[in-house]
Structure 1
């Protein structure tokens, strides 16, 4: 039986900027916040303390209205649109 060239080795995800980028990527694909750790651990060795800090910061931004549920920054126009709806 042939083995894959990567031999199942995962990359480490321990840099804050890379972690934020991956979390945003998952959010834009519709992954729920409580499933992000599970999805990331399938692909990477993750620093769970860093992931918790990133998720905490993203939740804080979402509750303050600076970010939508897909991890994208909201403009003042999109915030006004939600208020008008």
Structure 2
């Protein structure tokens, strides 16, 4: 399994950081770091999380990282 970030996901992370950094640079960095590290566990546990059946036949699962949601798509 390979972990790939979509351009939309990367854009969302950048926008989130830009928004949070106005209030707290350390909090913005921690939040983005948490969200980017969470999907790494999917490399060893690809069936972790709630399966989202509305995306069948693709296998898409949702995991939570702090206050954010990360979706894992398997073809």
Please confirm whether the aligned pair reaches a TM-score higher than 0.5, indicating the same fold: no
Q: Which has the higher strand share?
A: 2
Q: Which has the higher helix share?
A: 1
Higher RCO, Cα 8 Å, sep 6+ = 1
Query: Shorter-chain TM-score: what band?
Result: 0.3 to 0.5
Q: Which has the larger radius of gyration?
A: 1
